[in-house]
Amino acid sequence: MLSLFFAGYMVSYNFSANDKESFLVRDIPTQAADASDEIIVSNVTSLNIEIYDIDKKTSKTQTNTIPIAYLGLTRHELIETLQDYMLNPSVNDKAHGLIACELVEFTKQSVTIRKTYSAKNLPQRYYIVAEKGVLVIYLDNGRTLYDRTDIRLTQLPQSVQEKVMNKMRVDSAEELYDFLETFTS
């Protein structure tokens, strides 16, 4: 039995000695899964917001820091995020007549987003009421919901609370924006 074991050992030793080349670890170039060349938004990327007024044909650009929600996004993911934003823009953007939001530039150093506004389709009058303790805004017909806010009725001064309880009328988008800015913390 011992001789059979010894014979097996010698055969395997000779095989491995003669075929050492097949057991060498070859240096195969590898790339880490997250080390792709795809550009992503980082904390050093600057954000340029181009504000375009389509009615007046004017444009201005603001440079901001990148919002946390954009960090790590690829070009495609940022475009999807902007499309989602257009489904429910902020009260500020609604009040100023936002009609489009698009990605204009996407590099490692800079992201440029163009927001296009038009006041032509803005309602001329709004109504602010309280529902379930928060302020809700309706369009001038008093039935079409414009926006729900996070502003609690109890945050307002007593005189403003009374106006809201009686369906407070606001005569322009600018006046609505000013009102909301005043009571947003």
Summarised one tens digit per residue, pLDDT across range 23-46 is: 444 444 444 444 457 899 999 999
Q: What integer pLDDT is reported at residue 11 of this predicted model?
A: 47
DSSP 8-state secondary structure symbol assigned to residue 26: P
Q: What is the spatial distance between Cα 103 and Cα 39, in angstroms, rounded to a whole number?
A: 14
Intra-chain end-to-end CA distance of the chain, in Å: 88
Question: Residue 96 above 80 pLDDT?
Answer: yes
Q: Is the pLDDT of residue 60 over 50?
A: yes
pLDDT-derived band at 104 (thresholds 50, 70, 90) equals very high
Element holding 93 (H helix, E strand)? helix 91-95
DSSP β-ladder status, 46-53 and 110-117: parallel
